[in-house]
Amino acid sequence: MALLGTSKYAQGIGLSGVNPDLASERQTASFSVEGLTTLLDGGAEHTRVRRAVVEVIERDPVFSRENQYFQTQNERYEAAVRKAVHLQKKMHEMGWREDGPEFIYIYRAVAGDVAFLLHRVFMRSISVLGSDEQVAKWIPLATKHQLIGSYAQTELGHGTYLQGLETTAVFDTTTQEFILNTPKISAMKWWPGDMGRSATHTVVFAQLYVRGKCYGVHPFIVQIRSLQDHSLCPGITAGDIGPKMNFEHIDNGYLMLQNVRIPRENMLNKFCEVQPDGTYIRRGSQKINYFTMTTVRVSLLSDEVILPLMKACTIAIRYSAVRRQSKLNPGEEEAKILDYQTQQEKLLPQLAAAYAFHFVNNYLHKLFDRGYKEIQERNFNSLPELHASSSGFKAMLSQYCTAGVEICLRACGGHGYSLLSGLPSLYTKIVASCIYEGENTILLLQTARFLVKCFAAASAGQPVPQSVTYLAAVKPGKCPAKNKLDFLNPDIYVEAYQHTAIRLLSSTAAKLQDLIQSGVKKHEAWNQCTVQLVQAAKAHCHYITVKNFVETVEKLENKAGIQKIMKHLCDLFALHGIFSNAGLFLHDGYISGAQMDMITASYLDLLGVIRKDAVPLVDAFDFTDKSLNSALGSYDGNIYQRLYEWAQKSPTNQQV
Amino acid sequence: MALLGTSKYAQGIGLSGVNPDLASERQTASFSVEGLTTLLDGGAEHTRVRRAVVEVIERDPVFSRENQYFQTQNERYEAAVRKAVHLQKKMHEMGWREDGPEFIYIYRAVAGDVAFLLHRVFMRSISVLGSDEQVAKWIPLATKHQLIGSYAQTELGHGTYLQGLETTAVFDTTTQEFILNTPKISAMKWWPGDMGRSATHTVVFAQLYVRGKCYGVHPFIVQIRSLQDHSLCPGITAGDIGPKMNFEHIDNGYLMLQNVRIPRENMLNKFCEVQPDGTYIRRGSQKINYFTMTTVRVSLLSDEVILPLMKACTIAIRYSAVRRQSKLNPGEEEAKILDYQTQQEKLLPQLAAAYAFHFVNNYLHKLFDRGYKEIQERNFNSLPELHASSSGFKAMLSQYCTAGVEICLRACGGHGYSLLSGLPSLYTKIVASCIYEGENTILLLQTARFLVKCFAAASAGQPVPQSVTYLAAVKPGKCPAKNKLDFLNPDIYVEAYQHTAIRLLSSTAAKLQDLIQSGVKKHEAWNQCTVQLVQAAKAHCHYITVKNFVETVEKLENKAGIQKIMKHLCDLFALHGIFSNAGLFLHDGYISGAQMDMITASYLDLLGVIRKDAVPLVDAFDFTDKSLNSALGSYDGNIYQRLYEWAQKSPTNQQV
């Protein structure tokens, strides 16, 4: 590090003071930042617990992500394993329990860089799909970490279409065992996390065969590595699937099975069982499985989808308040790039979306809590709505947030492209959320299928779930707005979103009907409508998000200016959506060209309004510098010093 | 590698035969693939030379990219240096010269993974900006590689706004030297390629001061490392800026200067000179510099922007013809995912765009060749048009192609997310093209400024450059199309694009005028219109691209079915653009809602038509397997075997 020795800047980079360009942004906040943080957390007690957890985790050097951007895949994997083990100790030491108030903040504070997450999925599937005996046998072992679990569902050849899985489990009556095989290369398990190098056990999904008859896909507990020396068990071939766009810390793996025998008791048999004589019995309802998959999609939204967008906004907006480039007016000093309309137009709609999605996430959680209660009372009526909601919102939010993170990255120019900005890794990670837990297009089509059914029911005057009752309210007509201020009236824009969602759905449903009546086979007709069905499903989710944002704002008291700024963000989110999807609203003349000009004017005006509070609005997300891990996004705004300091740590500079 | 030993698949993965699902796609091609390849290359002789170069490069193990996805930053840097040195030998051995027909194919064949590219920029700037004596002194040294050059323009604090650079060069009359300094941290040179570890010399751009007076930014040749032991020269601090989203093979660097003295002769002085007594002289025209920057933007489009999209399309479309998932019709076998309308709607517009951009790139090169001839005859009239075109098309194409590559990546699901697919590195590299050589928003606003001027001139009946004469042709009216087939008439859609481009420009120009007349200061008024000005600039480039595609198709003979399939692609590109930007076309009623339904119907019909030729259309790009470096995109379509084989090579599997 001879470089620093000769540098007069070495002393100058004390990162104590806040950059005046950032400090000035905070002096003019129109609302209480702490108040908004508390609102986002759901109360002051939650904020206190969250900060306490974050502090404990960040104070512990084992959880440091300081060198993350310089590490190889292997170094990141080893660090993740170390963190996973240490985290167990830490939780014990701190008295944090899985059902305690701290739990939801722990993984967020560790920022995802921890191994053995699939161990919990392994445990959850046994808890849900296993009999009481199976739960009694496996859960204590797993809880005490006497094994490391994984979850082997996806195969090389099959992801979304689970019925097509090719791994086989043949029941051998003579030995009372299942014989598991990977009959061809496409049947190889591929992608399961923690399986490439770590797991000792896994839940394998395989086609069950008894006496030559196939009973479909079932889950089996299979040991894959020795509990003594961690070597692969007989008949098992497993390894790492190689480098990915991100998730270097996870050993996503492959698994091949050759005549692997497991006892009959290893088929998870709460809902179906193979009896000793080979009789296959199905019992109870499998609908609850369906619900488990559904809840996972909703539970990932907060940490994996919305939080990354909040972080990206924080980094890009703070940077844009510090970065000065070119002159807005000749003779003046160079302007903050956040003062350029084009920069505002990139970043502020993302900020509004982050808030919109935070609130719609709360709405989804309420919907699911209510649904869960009903299900416990053996009422499964809400399942289709819950499934459609979780599918549609997972798809819409992951797609929107991924695009938003990319916009933030590019809005920071060259410095955004440096890993040290933190933005590239946010992007390469969040983009996976468009694919995992259901590919987005497939999910939107599931939502669309639900909507088409509900639309038919509503049109026939039959009752439909609460979130789609609006489908019965088809009103032709035109938007009544007369000037640009009218478009700051939520009634006006909520109505426009509703109208457009209904129009897209009804016209596509009509097309589908026409095709079928003209003799096209049902499945083929469906395929020919899918591009438009996807549009309709998105429009539905967009409508619900806008409506929910409006309702959230209405319920706020205007304490410390929070309601006012939230109203601005809500307006911006809504008008940005109309501006960006203008064709959908203009199509049938519900919005006229002249009205679209009013919307554009109001939308651009709002950018200037929200720009004044942009920094306080990201400060309210309350991310620590360590959690952002960004040379551009730190609270003090000392971007250039930090970029320079961090670059020194690069291994390429250690070899000079 | 004990894993493979136990596997019965090890023998089975002979990659000899072509996957029947891919073979069948090639049997039904409606046109001659070889004919289309020849057309893309610009003639059979070009195809022959290109293939010969590719073969030589790919046969040489030094240029292998086989392990690229497993290498660390340092390994990639060292490989790139090795390749750069070896490439010089190879060129000498093969008799390939910089002015020979092979040259344009060499770097494409090496696939960018080569160091010292900035050496050529160093040479070019000396050739263009240096006096005859400077050229005579430095160019032979550089040509013989007795030094390694770089180009130090960008600073930590300044990228796009070059006038704001803060590095200083103060002339000392007593010693006849310039004293170079980095006065503050934001003045540090940051990003220059080949500078972190490799370069011995660089061209530093600094503010020239003579006797306390600043003369603006000038270029200076500065030695930064010893030619003996490669240690840093006195007063120099330099190193690597650390990891980036891609370009691991390039040592982008930082540079600080502390009282670094260079002789007066090291200021590049073709256009301006500081005489021994300190007199500053400016001579000749600097416009030619401007032209050099402009040509760089056009020259990068082919290899850095269009080719990556072509590669991504090749990978994703071949994969989609082999990957089967779920059933299109119950009872049938699982369908190729390329048969789903939603998959077609993701990929085929990208394919059409790749062709559209290839042709518009040809158009730009013709425009520039003509401009260059005029400039050699001291006629600089075409410079504004060339600058506006290079800016607008660089921005539009890089943005479109980046989005296209991302769509291809996501369309391959989980496997697309594996580095082994080749798609992540295509994405992480092409996204940089939205930022370098001019950030896209800044560039579009330069185009917009040109268009606003031309529109005013055209409206006043004054002559305007050829590419914007259409701005004088403002015709109100409606689109005359009566049914969906009318929208396959190029006159109809070209007119629609033209109308929309004019409308966006004229309405924004009117807004700008209104603001200024209402008393808003000119620069502030401009800022308030920039979101719409960006839209107008994009619409102009989109219009020119569609028009050029139509004209290209018209000029083709219908040899071997090529004109027919190109017409389909042209239609698809045009209608996809209208479908995706419906609001712009519906806004003033030029296209009605009913007509938009016709466009949608024609657009969706075209997907089904082009789907039949999708594989032959990517085969025509004629990428070798080695150049794609993708487990999913190989010519033989053996995707699963290749993923498995390649995963074995991962270092994480070597450590078991």
Report how far apart, in Å, the C-alpha atoms of A407 and of each of A73, A355, B15, B432 are: 27, 17, 41, 13
Report how far apart, in Å, the C-alpha atoms of B543 and of each of A295, B459, B490, B587 are: 46, 19, 12, 17
Secondary element (H or E) of residue A313: helix A307-322
Closest CA relative to residue B197, chosen from B282, B331, B76, B61: B76
Contact in structure between B87 and B110 (CB atoms under 8 Å):
yes
Contact in structure between A4 and A10 (CB atoms under 8 Å):
yes
Output the six-digit token pair for A453.
């059914």
> Residue B279 maps to which CATH number?
2.40.110.10
CA distance A544 to chain B (A): 22
**For B528, nearest residue in chain A (alpha carbons):** A341
CB contact under 8 A, B191 and A414: yes
Output the six-digit token pair for B270.
């073709």
pLDDT tens digits, B533-562: 999 999 999 999 999 999 999 999 878 899
Residue B374 annotated among the catalytic residues of the structure: no
End-to-end CA gap in chain B? 8
CB contact under 8 A, A418 and B244: yes
Closest CA relative to residue A164, chosen from A115, A106, A211, A205: A205
pLDDT at A8: 39
| B155 contacts on A by Cβ (under 8 Å) | none
* CA A174 remoteness from chain centre: 47
DSSP string, B355-398: HHHHHHHHHHHHHHHHHHHHHHTT--TTHHHHHHHHHHHHHHHH
- Is B194 part of a structural domain of the chain? yes
Both B269 and B343 in one domain: the answer is no
pLDDT tens digits, B305-364: 999 999 999 999 999 999 999 999 888 999 999 999 999 999 999 999 999 999 999 999
CB contact under 8 A, A328 and B527: yes
Q: Please report, for chain A, how many H helices and E strands are present, in that order.
A: 25, 11
- Give dist(CA A90, CA B66) in Å, integer: 43
pLDDT at B158: 95
pLDDT at B295: 84
- Give dist(CA A251, CA B643) in Å, integer: 16
Contact in structure between B9 and B644 (CB atoms under 8 Å):
yes
Q: Which of A159, A242, A339 has the CB atom closest to B418's CB atom?
A: A242
- Give dist(CA A237, CA A257) in Å, integer: 7
Both B553 and B455 in one domain: the answer is yes
CB contact under 8 A, B431 and A410: yes
CB contact under 8 A, A431 and B410: yes
**What amino acid is encoded at B51 in this protein?**
R
CB contact under 8 A, A74 and B651: yes
Both B169 and B113 in one domain: the answer is no
Q: Which of B325, B328, B530 has the CB atom closest to A340's CB atom?
A: B530
Best interface-test mutation with A: which of B433, B531, B592, B655 has the largest number of A CBs within 10 A? B531
Closest CA relative to residue B301, chosen from B193, B433, B109, B403: B433
CB contact under 8 A, B593 and A593: no
Q: From the CB of residue B293, how many other CB atoms can be counted at a distance below 10 Å?
A: 14
- Is A246 part of a structural domain of the chain? yes
CA distance A413 to chain B (A): 6
- φ, ψ dihedrals at B216, nearest 5°: 90, -175
Both A345 and A382 in one domain: the answer is yes
Secondary element (H or E) of residue A371: helix A341-376
The catalytically annotated residue of B437, B495, B551, B557 is B437
- Give dist(CA A191, CA A239) in Å, integer: 10
Q: Which of A9, A587, A593 has the CB atom closest to B582's CB atom?
A: A587
Report CA Rg, chain B.
27
pLDDT tens digits, A118-134: 999 999 999 989 999 99
Which domain does A56 fall in, by range? Answer: 20-120
- Is B584 part of a structural domain of the chain? yes
pLDDT tens digits, B437-460: 999 999 999 999 999 999 999 999
Both A277 and A298 in one domain: the answer is no
> Residue A512 maps to which CATH number?
1.20.140.10
**For A338, nearest residue in chain B (alpha carbons):** B527
- Is B648 part of a structural domain of the chain? no
| A429 contacts on B by Cβ (under 8 Å) | none
Both B498 and B533 in one domain: the answer is yes
Best interface-test mutation with A: which of B644, B645, B649 has the largest number of A CBs within 10 A? B644
**For B329, nearest residue in chain A (alpha carbons):** A523
A284 is known to lie in a ligand binding site: no
| A159 contacts on B by Cβ (under 8 Å) | 325, 413-414
pLDDT at B362: 97
| B339 contacts on A by Cβ (under 8 Å) | 527
pLDDT tens digits, B350-369: 999 999 999 999 999 999 99
CA distance B383 to chain A (A): 23
pLDDT at B484: 98
| A417 contacts on B by Cβ (under 8 Å) | 244-245, 431-432, 435
Q: Which of B239, B532, B583 has the CB atom closest to A583's CB atom?
A: B583
Sequence-separated (6 or more) residues with CB below 8 Å from residue A178: A169, A170, A171, A172, A208, A220, A261, A262, A263, A264, A266, A267
CB contact under 8 A, A242 and B445: no
The last residue of one of the domains, among A76, A100, A120, is A120
- Is B656 part of a structural domain of the chain? no
CB contact under 8 A, A652 and B197: yes
> Can you give the pTM of this predicted structure?
0.96
SS3 content of chain B, % helix, strand, coil (to 5): 60, 10, 30
Q: Looking at the 3D structure of chain B, how many domains does it have?
A: 3
Both A223 and A355 in one domain: the answer is no
The catalytically annotated residue of A155, A385, A437, A495 is A437
Both A395 and A432 in one domain: the answer is yes
- Give dist(CA B337, CA B324) in Å, integer: 6
- Give dist(CA B326, CA B344) in Å, integer: 16
- Is A255 part of a structural domain of the chain? yes
- Is B644 part of a structural domain of the chain? no
CB contact under 8 A, A530 and B340: yes
CB contact under 8 A, B652 and A154: no
Looking at per-residue confidence, does B633 or B13 come out higher? B633
Both B403 and B444 in one domain: the answer is yes
**For A529, nearest residue in chain B (alpha carbons):** B341
pLDDT at A286: 65
**What amino acid is encoded at B144 in this protein?**
K
- Give dist(CA B556, CA B551) in Å, integer: 9
Both B56 and B160 in one domain: the answer is no
Helix (H, G, I), strand (E, B) or coil at B72: coil
Q: Which of B328, B532, B640 has the CB atom closest to A156's CB atom?
A: B640
Sign (positive or negative) of CA dihedral A39, A41, A43, A45:
negative
Contact in structure between A298 and A392 (CB atoms under 8 Å):
no
CB contact under 8 A, B584 and A582: yes
Both A197 and A77 in one domain: the answer is no
- Is B354 part of a structural domain of the chain? yes
| A70 contacts on B by Cβ (under 8 Å) | 242-243
pLDDT at B289: 67
Contact in structure between B272 and B263 (CB atoms under 8 Å):
no
Tell me which residues of chain A have a pLDDT lower than 70: 1-16, 285-286, 288-290, 655-656
Both B267 and B382 in one domain: the answer is no
pLDDT at B98: 87
Q: Which of B70, B240, B650 has the CB atom closest to A653's CB atom?
A: B240
pLDDT tier, B16 (very low <50, low <70, confident <90, very high otherwise): low
| B646 contacts on A by Cβ (under 8 Å) | 242
CA distance A330 to chain B (A): 8
| A532 contacts on B by Cβ (under 8 Å) | 600
| A3 contacts on B by Cβ (under 8 Å) | 232, 237-239
> Residue B75 maps to which CATH number?
1.10.540.10
Q: Which of B586, B650, B656 has the CB atom closest to A243's CB atom?
A: B650
CB contact under 8 A, B419 and A244: yes
Q: From the CB of residue A60, how many other CB atoms can be counted at a distance below 10 Å?
A: 14
**For A69, nearest residue in chain B (alpha carbons):** B243
Which runs of E-coded beta strand occur in B23-176?
149-152, 168-172
Helix (H, G, I), strand (E, B) or coil at B67: coil
Residue with tokens 């990929």: B347
Sequence-separated (6 or more) residues with CB below 8 Å from residue B467: B367, B385, B389, B544
B174 is known to lie in a ligand binding site: no
